[in-house]
Amino acid sequence: MTDKITLGFIGTGKMGKPMVLRLLDAGRSVVVHNRTAAKLEELGAAGARIAGSPAEVTANADIVLLCLTDGVAVEQVVLGAGGIVNNAGEEKLVIDFSSILPRDTLRIAQQLRQKTGMRWIDAPVSGGVSGAQHGRLVIMCGGEKADVERARPIFAQLAQRITHMGPSGCGQVTKLCNQVIVSCNLAVIAEAINLAGIAGINTERIPEALQGGFADSLPLQIYGPRMAGGQDAEKIGEIHTMLKDVRNALQYAQSLDAPLPMTGAAEEIYQSVANKGYLHTDVENLMRQFDTGKRS
């Protein structure tokens, strides 16, 4: 490790927890907070300091990292009672790994900067839980160049690629583009697996057969076998999360008068599956849209 700064980390769920563990393994000093205290036990045992509020995290950290569910959660943690704003300062920096609307990023970052001088990088990630565990995330950044450069040593311990996309909000726009592609791809993979099943083909061999061709993708290789298997496996990505991101993309696109017809169709599919009771289950349950009894 090349510096002695203390990091704060707020939001230690499926993505945040392995990110904190990697930072601790790299010798970083990390102060953590999560609404559900039980999620902090393993991190405390691994050497993280546990704080009782976002304000306490900020009081004891030079750079505060967020990995939260949505814009409402980010706003509450930053600007709400007991939030970051209470102990912020112009020498400190927020790095937000959450995926939220660009306009929410701009509004929250601007309010924090005006009230305290604290700086902000929107840095949503792609790569899933496996990427977080193995330091193979892809980070797309929005913010000032000097702040991104300051954060690069931290990013390097979490990611295989860091791209500065432009000023504040640009990282979130890039993540929306990512989710447009991923959400549609997953829905189409489910369609293909279903087609193969109806035709009587061994669906579990579809990812292998298509590997290396134009139809190949990480989602195909990760989710294809899970969809073909027909059994629930450990959850690595929720229908709920994808539906949230798809809706954010559609809302943002509408504000720009930018058509997203494929994403609109994907939103209907995710909502249909959610309506069947699978909102908080893994994305592999996109196959439930085809619960017609036709698959062999």
201: its two tokens: 């083909």
CA distances for 9 relative to 1, 90, 182, angstroms: 18, 18, 27
- Bin 3: left if φ > 0, else alpha if -120 < ψ < 50, else beta: beta
Catalytic residue among 115, 175, 235, 244: 175
Amino acid code (one letter) for 122? D
Kind of pairing between the strands at 137-142 and 125-126 = antiparallel
Q: Which residue has the tokens 């696109």?
A: 253
- How far apart (Å, rounded) are the C-alpha atoms in residues 282 and 95? 27
Strand ranges in the chain using DSSP code E only, listed in sequence order = 6-10, 29-33, 49-50, 63-66, 93-96, 119-122, 125-126, 137-142, 159-166
Q: Is 175 a catalytic residue?
A: yes
The residues carrying an active-site annotation are 175
